[in-house]
Protein backbone atom coordinates (compact mmCIF):
# COMPACT_ATOMS: atom_id res chain seq x y z
CA UNK A 1 0.00 0.00 0.00
CA UNK A 2 1.24 3.47 -0.87
CA UNK A 3 2.27 5.87 1.85
CA UNK A 4 -0.20 8.69 2.47
CA UNK A 5 1.08 12.16 1.63
CA UNK A 6 0.26 15.33 3.58
CA UNK A 7 -1.16 18.18 1.50
CA UNK A 8 -0.53 21.80 2.36
CA UNK A 9 -3.38 24.08 3.45
CA UNK A 10 -4.03 25.44 -0.05
CA UNK A 11 -4.10 21.95 -1.55
CA UNK A 12 -6.50 20.76 1.16
CA UNK A 13 -8.83 23.67 0.32
CA UNK A 14 -8.60 22.89 -3.40
CA UNK A 15 -9.38 19.25 -2.63
CA UNK A 16 -12.48 20.18 -0.59
CA UNK A 17 -13.67 22.68 -3.23
CA UNK A 18 -13.29 20.13 -6.00
CA UNK A 19 -15.07 17.42 -4.02
CA UNK A 20 -17.95 19.81 -3.31
CA UNK A 21 -18.21 20.76 -6.98
CA UNK A 22 -18.04 17.12 -8.02
CA UNK A 23 -20.91 16.27 -5.67
CA UNK A 24 -22.87 19.18 -7.12
CA UNK A 25 -22.27 17.97 -10.70
CA UNK A 26 -23.81 14.60 -9.83
CA UNK A 27 -27.15 16.12 -8.81
CA UNK A 28 -30.16 16.13 -11.12
CA UNK A 29 -30.54 19.89 -10.67
CA UNK A 30 -27.02 20.50 -11.95
CA UNK A 31 -27.75 18.33 -15.01
CA UNK A 32 -30.57 20.75 -15.87
CA UNK A 33 -28.35 23.79 -15.24
CA UNK A 34 -25.51 22.25 -17.23
CA UNK A 35 -27.84 21.81 -20.21
CA UNK A 36 -28.87 25.45 -20.02
CA UNK A 37 -25.26 26.61 -19.76
CA UNK A 38 -24.21 24.45 -22.72
CA UNK A 39 -27.10 25.81 -24.78
CA UNK A 40 -26.09 29.33 -23.82
CA UNK A 41 -22.40 28.64 -24.50
CA UNK A 42 -22.82 27.09 -27.92
CA UNK A 43 -26.16 28.31 -29.27
CA UNK A 44 -26.34 32.03 -28.45
CA UNK A 45 -26.80 34.72 -31.06
CA UNK A 46 -28.86 37.83 -31.61
CA UNK A 47 -31.89 37.74 -33.88
CA UNK A 48 -31.54 40.63 -36.36
CA UNK A 49 -35.28 40.52 -37.06
CA UNK A 50 -36.05 41.92 -33.60
CA UNK A 51 -33.87 45.00 -33.84
CA UNK A 52 -34.56 48.44 -35.21
CA UNK A 53 -30.99 49.34 -36.16
CA UNK A 54 -27.62 47.82 -36.96
CA UNK A 55 -26.15 49.36 -33.79
CA UNK A 56 -28.82 47.69 -31.63
CA UNK A 57 -28.18 44.34 -33.34
CA UNK A 58 -24.41 44.68 -32.82
CA UNK A 59 -25.02 45.49 -29.14
CA UNK A 60 -27.27 42.42 -28.76
CA UNK A 61 -24.77 40.24 -30.61
CA UNK A 62 -21.94 41.38 -28.31
CA UNK A 63 -24.06 40.65 -25.25
CA UNK A 64 -24.93 37.20 -26.59
CA UNK A 65 -21.23 36.54 -27.22
CA UNK A 66 -20.24 37.58 -23.69
CA UNK A 67 -23.04 35.54 -22.11
CA UNK A 68 -22.00 32.50 -24.16
CA UNK A 69 -18.35 33.02 -23.26
CA UNK A 70 -19.18 33.33 -19.54
CA UNK A 71 -21.24 30.12 -19.62
CA UNK A 72 -18.43 28.24 -21.39
CA UNK A 73 -15.81 29.55 -18.96
CA UNK A 74 -17.94 28.56 -15.95
CA UNK A 75 -18.31 24.99 -17.23
CA UNK A 76 -14.58 24.82 -17.96
CA UNK A 77 -13.69 26.16 -14.50
CA UNK A 78 -15.90 23.58 -12.78
CA UNK A 79 -14.22 20.80 -14.77
CA UNK A 80 -10.76 22.20 -13.99
CA UNK A 81 -11.42 22.37 -10.23
CA UNK A 82 -12.89 18.84 -10.15
CA UNK A 83 -9.90 17.48 -12.11
CA UNK A 84 -7.44 19.22 -9.76
CA UNK A 85 -9.29 17.72 -6.80
CA UNK A 86 -9.04 14.23 -8.32
CA UNK A 87 -5.30 14.73 -8.78
CA UNK A 88 -4.87 15.97 -5.19
CA UNK A 89 -6.87 13.03 -3.86
CA UNK A 90 -4.53 10.63 -5.66
CA UNK A 91 -1.52 12.60 -4.45
CA UNK A 92 -2.79 12.51 -0.86
CA UNK A 93 -3.42 8.76 -1.00
CA UNK A 94 0.06 8.14 -2.38
CA UNK A 95 -1.12 6.92 -5.81
CA UNK A 96 0.84 9.76 -7.41
CA UNK A 97 4.28 10.66 -6.13
CA UNK A 98 6.06 13.89 -6.89
CA UNK A 99 9.66 13.10 -7.56
CA UNK A 100 12.28 15.79 -7.86
CA UNK A 101 13.60 16.39 -11.33
CA UNK A 102 17.24 15.74 -11.99
CA UNK A 103 19.11 18.56 -13.60
Judged against a pLDDT cut of 90, whether residue 27 lies above it is answered with yes
Over residues 44-56, the pLDDT tens digits come to 888 888 888 989 9
Could you please report the per-residue DSSP string of 36-80? HHHHHHHS----GGG-SSHHHHHHHHHHHHHHHHHHHHHHHHHHH
Over residues 31-82, the pLDDT tens digits come to 999 999 999 999 888 888 888 898 998 999 999 999 999 999 999 999 999 9
Q: Which residue has the higher pLDDT, 3 or 68?
A: 68
pLDDT computed for residue 102 by the predictor: 66
Q: Hey, where are the domains in the chain?
A: 9-93
Contacts of 72 (CB under 8 A, 6+ apart): 37, 41, 42
pLDDT computed for residue 50 by the predictor: 80
Amino acid sequence: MAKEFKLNEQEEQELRDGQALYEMTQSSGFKVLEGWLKDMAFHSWADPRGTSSKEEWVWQELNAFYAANNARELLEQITKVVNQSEYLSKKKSGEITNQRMRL
